[in-house]
């Protein structure tokens, strides 16, 4: 095994005399509103949360420096193309929302017209409104189809390019981090602290298994989005007494490109 990282032995933490302390982790991020413009806050359920008694990012950084060969980078051209794909997807989704709105409006107008006879003024007004929306529906549907074709065509090209870069990065990581399990185990034992794992419930809360000895920990979690992942590695100091609540949001996450 290569030498253990110099900082590993310095991560030994003092353990208090009291019993295990409870940590409560909540996960919530703002996401685009699927029903319109703007965003909505969504609790993140079924997400794995870990309390780790050392900074895993420092371990990876140290092993990377020791390996000597940098990780294969994502070409800027691919990043730009993926951004264009994301914009194309947003355009298609906007067309879908517009089509759904018109369709729903036509259904509502149909229902409203059923309450009047054809000769009534209210029926005539509703029917004219129905004709206006019906005339728009075909055009919006054709635009929706064009947007979808454009999005899928662009997506296919970036998928192939992303796969190629990911394979290079995976092969590099297999070599650079070959000893990561041994290094993690050694630092964990040296810390004298706990390493626990839990999963958020339907309300985006994890607490059942997050009971640890007092000390310094890092809250680690990931959440996958369409083109990126939200990554948390948040340092906390756990003390005895009342449960400690840690909020994981977009504000304290890193948003990383996902190939």
Model confidence, pTM = 0.80
Place of tokens 């950084």: 61
8-53+192-257 adopts what CATH topology? Answer: Immunoglobulin-like (2.60.40)
Three-state DSSP at 73 gives coil
Mean predicted confidence (pLDDT) in 93-97: 92
Read off the tokens for 145.
């189809």
CA 62 to each of CA 53, 57, 180, 189, 251: distance values in angstroms, whole numbers, following the listed order: 17, 9, 11, 19, 26
> Residue 47: CB partners within 8 Å, gap ≥ 6?
27, 199, 200, 204, 206, 221, 222, 223
Residue 178 has pLDDT above 60, yes or no: yes
For residue 227, which of 165, 158, 177 has the smallest C-alpha distance?
158
Q: Is 50 exposed, middle or buried (0-12, 13-18, 19+ CB in 10 A)?
A: buried
- pLDDT averaged over every residue in the chain: 90
Three-state DSSP at 31 gives strand
Say if residues 196 and 50 touch (Cβ distance below 8 Å): yes
- Fold match flag (8-53+192-257 vs 76-173): no
Read off the tokens for 204.
């985006």
76-173 adopts what CATH topology? Answer: Helix Hairpins (1.10.287)
Where in the chain are the domains?
8-53+192-257, 76-173
Mean predicted confidence (pLDDT) in 237-253: 94
pLDDT in tens, 182-203: 999 999 999 999 999 999 999 9
Residue 34 has pLDDT above 80, yes or no: no
Is the pLDDT higher at 246 or at 119? 246
> Residue 76: CB partners within 8 Å, gap ≥ 6?
none
Lowest-confidence segment of 32-41, 84-93, 250-259 by average pLDDT:
32-41
Binning pLDDT at 50, 70 and 90, where does residue 18 land? low
Read off the tokens for 158.
């970036």
pLDDT of residue 5: 45
Torsion 168-172-173-178 (CA) sign: positive
**HSE-up of 17 (CA within 13 Å, CB side)?**
0
């Amino acid at each position: 095994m290569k030498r253990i990282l110099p900082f590993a032995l310095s991560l030994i933490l003092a353990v208090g005399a009291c019993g295990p302390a409870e940590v409560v982790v909540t996960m919530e991020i703002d996401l685009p509103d699927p029903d319109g413009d703007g965003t909505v806050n969504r609790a993140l359920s079924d997400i794995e949360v870990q309390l780790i008694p050392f900074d895993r990012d420092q371990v990876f950084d140290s092993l990377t420096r020791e390996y000597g060969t940098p990780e294969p980078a994502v070409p800027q051209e691919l990043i730009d193309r993926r951004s264009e794909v994301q914009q194309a997807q947003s355009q298609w989704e906007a067309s879908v929302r517009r089509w759904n709105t018109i369709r729903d409006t036509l259904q509502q107008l149909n229902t409203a017209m059923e309450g009047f006879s054809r000769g009534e003024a209210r029926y005539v007004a509703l029917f004219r409104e129905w004709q206006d929306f019906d005339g728009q529906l075909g055009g919006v549907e054709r635009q929706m189809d064009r947007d979808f074709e454009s999005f899928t065509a662009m997506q296919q090209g970036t998928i192939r390019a992303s796969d190629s870069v990911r394979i290079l990065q995976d092969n590099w990581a297999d070599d650079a981090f070959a000893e990561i399990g041994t290094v993690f185990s050694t630092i964990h034992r040296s810390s004298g602290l706990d390493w626990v794992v839990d999963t958020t419930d339907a309300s985006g809360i994890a607490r059942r298994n997050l009971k640890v000895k007092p000390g310094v920990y890092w809250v680690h979690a990931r959440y996958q989005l369409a083109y990126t992942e939200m990554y948390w590695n948040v340092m906390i100091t756990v003390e005895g007494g009342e449960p400690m609540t840690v909020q994981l949001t977009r504000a304290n996450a890193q948003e990383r490109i996902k190939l």
